[in-house]
Chain A
Amino acid sequence: MNINLTLIGQAIAFAIFVWFCVKFVWPPITAAMEARQKKIADGLSAADRASLDLELAQEKASKELQKAKQEAAVLIDQANKRAAQIVEASKDDARKEGDKLIEQARAEIQQERVQARDALRKEVAVLAIAGAEKILETSVDAKAHSEMLDKLAAEL
């Protein structure tokens, strides 16, 4: 319990320890801690930014999606309209074509009927003449009676 030189020795040791700590211990440790703090702060702010970015991106994506849907709807609408038009047009064409064919067929039938009637008429005329000759037992001058025969043929 005596106060002696130990006191001074202790004070000197204390001074040396403090000097060493100030010089070699404290700076690297606190530097590392501060660097880590900064890293963590940066990381957190980056995460914040990222989540904000994500939100924006999601918003943008949903907008794009909306737009695409609308466009698609418009396109489908247009396509439907166009298809209806095409169907309508082809129906029209087909109807016209059919009408035309029917017309042609009718004309041909008419023509053939006329021809057939003509041929028949002629034959009937010949038959009539032949019949008349038989009845009259004389030949009928075809030339002399052609006018009458033609009249007959026209009546048939």
Chain B
Amino acid sequence: MAADTPVEYIQHHLQNLTYGKLPAGYERVDPYTNDVTVMQEAGWTFARTSAEATDMGFMAFHVDTLGWSIFMGILFLTIFRLVARKATSGVPGGMQNMVEMTVEFVQTIVRDGFHGRNPVIAPLALTMFVWIFLMNSLKLIPVDFIPQIAHALGLGYFKIVPTTDPNGTFGISIGVFILIIFYSIKVKGLGGFGKELSFTPFNHWALIPFNLVLEIIGLLTKPLSLALRLFGNMYAGEVVFILIAILPFWVQWTLNVPWAIFHILVITLQAFIFTTLAVVYLSQAHEDH
């Protein structure tokens, strides 16, 4: 592992495990021996250095982000599905209690933020909230724990928190964005939606181009702000954890324990903010003027 200096250590920890396509003729530099090999033809492989991961461009997957986010999603759905199957209207057990508290919490968010009628919004919000919460909560696992295990298994890079990867947060916010567009068109009609973009905030035909620019920027800001807010918070927190991990081991607990306790609040809050804003945006998409 190329993690001898603090800078290398930090960079190493911020690099995802990338599986992508390298073009033919690409010169690969072995991070340990500095031997150079040339790709005979384009092919899919794991990136061994950050430079390789960057050079893979768009045709690459962050295996760790996808793996952990899917794992967390399945964990969420399994737990909730098990409870849902055995859900009783009598006295609920501990697990059902917890699930119902979450559901009620999300119902409150939706009731306060969403003013239309759509049975999909509440479960959508539940999925977002719990999934993001679970992904964020991976951050409370010490930064070297799972990467070390992965390293022992031969994986050079491993970043377990999917929400510290912009792909992870943008993936969700783009899903929300598509739903915003979909419901805007579904509720207002294509014409109605177009009219809304063209005639607000200034209701005059001469200002249509101006309105369009303004509204489209406003529209695009929604997924951008959702994704960047979550990513920024999680990434910054992760960097601080990594910085603390550079310190001598006997002093780390004085910093990372308070930081982790603080992050119990942050991960919940960020999941809550993401969910609430997504619900509000979808509510706006349902409002017909």
Do they bind each other? yes
A residues with CB within 8 A of B: 1-11, 13-18, 20-22, 24-33, 35-36, 38-39
Contact code string B91-114 (vs A, CB < 8 Å = 1, else 0): 010001001100110010000000
- Residue of B88, B127, B178 near A21 (CB, 8 A) is B127
- Known A17-B73, A29-B83, A31-B87: A7·B14 in contact at CB below 8 Å: no
Mark out the residues of chain B between 158 and 193 whose CB falls within 8 Å of any chain A CB in the assembled complex.
Answer: 162, 165-168, 170-172, 174-175, 178
- Known A4-B62, A14-B171: A32·B87 in contact at CB below 8 Å: yes
A8 CA to B69 CA in the complex, in Å?
13
Quick check: B131 and A10 within 8 Å, CB to CB? no
Least distance between A84 CB and chain B CB atoms (Å)? 69
Complex contacts, B119 vs chain A, CB 8 Å: 22
Least distance between B275 CB and chain A CB atoms (Å)? 12
Quick check: A32 and B167 within 8 Å, CB to CB? no
Q: Does B20 contact A (CB under 8 A)?
A: yes
Quick check: B120 and A22 within 8 Å, CB to CB? yes
- Residue of A1, A18, A32 near B127 (CB, 8 A) is A18
Quick check: B77 and A10 within 8 Å, CB to CB? no
Complex contacts, A35 vs chain B, CB 8 Å: 89
A16 CA to B175 CA in the complex, in Å?
11
The size class of the interface chain B forms with chain A is 35 or more
Quick check: B66 and A18 within 8 Å, CB to CB? no
Quick check: A25 and B54 within 8 Å, CB to CB? no
B residues with CB within 8 A of A: 14, 16, 18, 20, 53-54, 56-62, 65-66, 69-70, 73, 76-77, 80-81, 83-85, 87-90, 92, 96, 99-100, 103-104, 107, 119-120, 122-124, 126-127, 131, 162, 165-168, 170-172, 174-175, 178
- Known A4-B56, A21-B123, A21-B127: A10·B162 in contact at CB below 8 Å: yes
Quick check: A10 and B65 within 8 Å, CB to CB? yes
Complex contacts, A27 vs chain B, CB 8 Å: 84
Quick check: A21 and B166 within 8 Å, CB to CB? no
Quick check: B127 and A17 within 8 Å, CB to CB? yes
Least distance between B232 CB and chain A CB atoms (Å)? 12
Top 7 A-B pairs, shortest CB-CB distance: A10-B171, A35-B89, A32-B87, A6-B167, A26-B123, A28-B84, A6-B62
